[in-house]
Amino acid sequence: MSEESGRSTSRREFIKTSGRLAGASALAGVAIPQVYAAGGGETIQLALVGCGGRGTGAADNALSVKNGPIKLVAMADVVDRRLKSSLGSLTKGLADQVDVPAERQFIGLDAYRHAMDSLKPGDVVILGTPPAFRWVHFTYAIAKGLNAFMEKPVTVDGPTSRRMFKLAEEATGKNLKVGVGLMSRHSRALEQLANRVHDGEIGEIILQRGYRMHGPIGAFASLPKPAGISDLMYQIQRFHSFLWAGGGNYSDFYIHIIDHLGWMMNAWPVKAQALGGRHYRQSPEGVTYVDQNLDTYAVEYTYADGTKFNFDGRCMNGCNDIYSSYLHGSKGSAIVSRGGDCGMPSSLHKSQSMQPSDMIWESKVNEGEGDPYQNEWNDLVDAIRNDKPYNEVKRGVEASLVTSMGRMAAHTGQEITFEQILNCEHEFAPGLDKLTPDSPAPVQPEADGRYPVPMPGQKKDREY
């Protein structure tokens, strides 16, 4: 199993000419939003910052939107090989819409500025780096008057969350449209389910359950840094392993289920208490891993009305894999995600056992709307072209904070409230806007070469 990149497997044909005509007729008669009108005609230009798996997938989705011409014109990454491989793969399927010559390929920690400088106000930047850089890159996007799509999580700690809330307001003030890659929110199956649950079809929700348990994936575990790469670049490249860069596997892997169960409840949990542990810490060759992650997490979230949401996360081979989410109501139950982060179909059941025989409703999604990663782009571009209010950042920060709240509860062994995580003063990586290749890495190894790990019960105010 691997973290889905969201990259579509079947190439949707996009014919440039017909796209242009469709765009022209779609725009006829509508007031072109000022910010977009300033953006260089009807072709929306894109820049991709962070050309990894998901950034490439998001660019593919962006270029596959059918309501008008859209073109990739600039790319930025800190690793040349990642940019080249992303460009190669996008060009293979979408050559007509990819126009990124060598002079608009930018490498380095300041590459994001050059890529965004290649755009005009009203164009779109895709922020697909590890989340630590989100506020830095979003700040620049707002200054340049760019619409944006940013991947989840959007923050990993309290101080940057507070900063992002302010940036969200600034973006709205400038009428910028901003999408956040919590794609469950654009799953048509989950939309149908949410409407029914909010209408009371299974009564009051009395319990929520979420699971993401599978073997180690991505950079969940890390061996000691090899020679030939700086500590900073090692940590950036293996961001799942380092809390400052990605919030660890907890934030990166578990946010989707936490987000969509909050949606079903129409609220966010107000506190969390949790268990977590590290069990297998040696590679098959017997080398000790150096990352900051725990293997297992069991988090009990509580909503303001006392309703509980239990979340279990595990990265361990050979155990019972479960990757799905459920609601229990006073009049029935629901399967929210049948498999994966938001796997269809969703269903309602008249008992608590969720057997097919007691199913009372199952989601049905129109052809062409089955891919939430594509839907989120269709929705964003529609908002840009038709000047509809669209800014998902506040909600994205809230989902990121609730995720961090559960993680901090496990890492400290304390009950953590929403207010505590929001107002927590521990900024994991201060000064990221001034980072250069020579900057010290935000977390330093201890004498044994391992990076500091959470010490529940001993470190109570900080996660490491």
Ligand X SMILES: NC(=O)c1ccc[n+]([C@@H]2O[C@H](COP(=O)([O-])OP(=O)(O)OC[C@H]3O[C@@H](n4cnc5c(N)ncnc54)[C@H](O)[C@@H]3O)[C@@H](O)[C@H]2O)c1
Report d(CA 7, CA 9) in Å as an integer: 6
Q: How far is the CB of 237 from ligand X (least distance, A)?
A: 6
The one-character DSSP state at 305 is T
Report the C-alpha gap between 373 and 367 in whole angstroms. 15
Specify the residue, 5 or 91, whose C-beta has the smaller distance to ligand X.
Answer: 5
343 in contact with ligand X (CB under 6 A): no
273, containing H or E segment = strand 271-277
Rounded distance between C-alpha atoms, residue 135 and residue 177, angstroms? 16
Q: What is the 3-class SS of 138-184, one letter each residue?
A: HHHHHHCCCEEEECCCCCCCHHHHHHHHHHHHHHHHCCCCEEECCHH
The residue within the footprint of ligand X, chosen from 46, 62, 73, 76 (CB under 6 A), is: 76
**Is 181 a binder of ligand X (CB under 6 A)?**
yes
Quick one: which of 35, 47, 48, 109 contacts ligand X (CB under 6 A)? 109
Instruction: Indicate the SS3 state at residue 207.
Output: strand
Q: Tell me which DSSP letter residue 391 carries.
A: B
Q: How many Å apart are CA 191 and CA 414, to the nearest integer?
A: 35
Minimal distance, residue 243 CB to ligand X, in Å: 14
Give whichever of 159 and 248 is closer to ligand X, judged by the CB atom.
248
Measured between alpha carbons, how far is 154 from 157 in angstroms, rounded to an integer?
A: 10
Query: How far is the C-alpha of 34 from the C-alpha of 56, rounded, in Å?
Result: 29
- Among 133, 268, 309, 326, contact with ligand X (rule: CB under 6 A): 133
CB atoms within 10 A of CB 228: 7
Work out whether 5 is an interface residue with ligand X (CB under 6 A): yes
Nearer to ligand X, 109 or 168 (CB): 109
Question: Using the rule CB under 6 A, is 116 a contact of ligand X?
Answer: no
Q: Is the dihedral of CA 395, 156, 1, 257 positive or negative?
A: negative
Binder to ligand X among 36, 112, 263, 418 (CB under 6 A)? 112
Strand partners, 315: 214
Binding letters toward ligand X, positions 15-54, x by CB under 6 A: ----------------------------------xxxxxx
The span of 92-100, 109-117, 139-147, 357-365 binding ligand X (CB under 6 A) equals: 109-117
Alpha helices in 64-103 (DSSP H): 80-94
> How many whole angstroms separate alpha carbon 247 and alpha carbon 243?
4
Decide: is 78 part of the binding site for ligand X (CB under 6 A).
yes
Nearer to ligand X, 104 or 459 (CB): 104
Answer whether 110's CB lies under 8 Å from 225's CB.
no
Does position 131 interact with ligand X (CB under 6 A)? The reply is yes
**Subset of 392-431 contacting ligand X (CB under 6 A):** none
Using rule CB under 6 A, residue 129 touches ligand X:
yes
Name residues contacting ligand X, limited to 237-266 (CB under 6 A).
252
| CB nearer to ligand X: pick between 256 and 385 | 256
- Kindly state the smallest distance separating residue 311's Cβ from ligand X, in Å: 17
Q: Treating both helix axes as pointing N-terminal to C-terminal, what angle do 158-173 and 393-412 enclose, rounded to 10 degrees? A: 180
Please report whether residue 151 would count as binding ligand X according to CB under 6 A.
yes
Residue with tokens 């302010």: 166
Q: Does 193 bind ligand X (CB under 6 A)?
A: no
Q: How many residues bind ligand X (CB under 6 A)?
A: 31
Torsion-angle region of 140 (φ positive above 0: left; ψ -120 to 50: alpha; else: beta): alpha
Closer of 54 and 349 to ligand X (Cβ): 54
- Using CB under 6 A, which of 39, 68, 130, 248 touches ligand X? 130
Q: Which residues bind ligand X (CB under 6 A)?
A: 3-6, 49-55, 76-79, 82, 109, 111-112, 128-131, 133, 151-152, 181, 183, 236, 252, 341
